[in-house]
Structure 1
Amino acid sequence: MNLNTQPHTADLPTWQPGILQDARHYQILILTLLLCLGNTWFQFDIATGQVLAVLAAACLTQFLFSLPLKNVSFDPRSPLITSLSLCLLLKTAVLWIAVLAAVVAIASKFIFRWNHRHLFNPANLGIVAAILLTGQAWVSPGQWGGGLWFGFLLTCLAGLVLFRSHSTDMALKFIVIYAVGLIARATWLGDPLAIPLHQLQNGALLIFTFFMISDPKTIPVSPQGRTLFATLVTLIALAFQFLAFNPTGLMYALAIAAITVPFIDKFIPSSHQTSKSKGKPDTVLYPLSTQSQAKPLPS
């Protein structure tokens, strides 16, 4: 059954003239730029050897898992995006832990699947696995500083990707709901507004918002479902951060909430699923990105 009757940019040959029409290419460029800026000006102190090892591990894992699959050629774009995200967010002094995170992240796309999509955001699961399994890895929420100008720059760059991928609403819903949660807590405690505003001004949160929770492969397909999902992630994250005093709450929250996506899609179906049940012609199933056409294989 053909789910998409219109030309699809993801069907263009890799690295051909359609390069500027695929959101993944923008993501790779932006994440690479952020990594270079971070190491050059913002003292991320990420060893070049570790970056290369993570990139190689992610690409090799993608290649090995693709081998037994028919009619599938190796595509480096997805593992590059995942590994660059890991380099920016995951902190560890042990090389093999960084490599482990990359392997787990890419392998999860092939192992944990439902409805032709992967269940977890790969980078998110890789980070959570590295932290829980080793105890020698962490995410430093304030590692990029709280400068408003850098946050604005990162938001603009990420927005370029989001407008190309049509998943803007997921990111905006989350950041608004999360901000409301922080402000509500500060108001209840009698804290000044400067405290929640400072908590919102960090690069790790922006990367999480614009490159992780907004992943069109792992979020609910309906607008109402995405609102519920953003609320659920926020509530779990705030519980981790302020009840369990765990600064990695956002990562845990997304991994836990991802398990609910199949149920959200079942009970809050998209307009496509509703129209299909009434016998209307097929349309695009997941119209959220240039990658969103439902396929049986990871991308």
Structure 2
Amino acid sequence: MARDNINDIIVFLAVARERSFTRAAARLGMTQSALSHIIRGLEGRLGVRLLTRTTRSVSPTEAGERLLQNVGPRLEEIEAEIAAVSDLGDKPAGTVRITAIDHVVSSVLWPRIAPILPRYPDLHVEISSDYRLVDIAAERFDIGVRYGDQVEKDMIAVRLTGEVPMAIVGSPGYFGWHPKPAMPADLMKHNCVTLRLASSGGIYAWELEKDGQKLEMRVRGQVVCNSAGHMLDAALTGCGLAFVPADMAGPHVSMGRLVSVMEDWCPRFPALHAYYPSRRNSSRAVTLVIDALRLKT
């Protein structure tokens, strides 16, 4: 009975943290029906309801919240100790979970992580592309990757890049019908591809800067995206102007598929950093990935 309870509580914790049977099932590699069966069995043995289910959401009851807050951390401690024992082996092993913005995955993470994977077959990497400012401790990520000014002060941060230059770009076809903007005010006359922020749901205001003067331009356009990659695609197809990292747009500018404008108003964003909780003892697998990611000088 006790062993069944522990295994089933691990399933419950996944559902309670994700607030979703669908997401928990995907994370655990199980079916939703199997998860529902396990939760019902656990509730039956404990004699209390652990989750409140509606057609749109799942949330822990008072009893479920007590399990989540009191038992969850203790199971994490056990998992951490088991991982520490595994670290005594000859080779780093285990899964390292990372959250990063989509274009950072392509431009920074994969080029640096891919070379080490063949050398360490017991190392597994799970990467989640997300624009939210993720609480990596609460969502059980080992590493987060964000711009330096977005990293919480209580985290250990490792620099991955230099400052990140931005660019405003449009296709030659778009500029065949529209004059090139020279000043921030000119952008209000253009069809701009905008970004919806995952955390707030609002539209991102373009952060421009010239000679110390900073402006936030709330541009408008026909297309709203939720990732820089989609914004770049929209610009390439002539839908309007996009404000994206210069390293994304650079190859297309060089090949003439995009035109860069207002370069004197395009700022440099803070360097990208990998970060992780200072209170957590890092496994050899996490340390290996951090060392592979860090900026080489």
TM tier, smaller: under 0.3
**Structure with the bigger percentage of helix:** 1
Give the structure with higher Rg (CA): 2
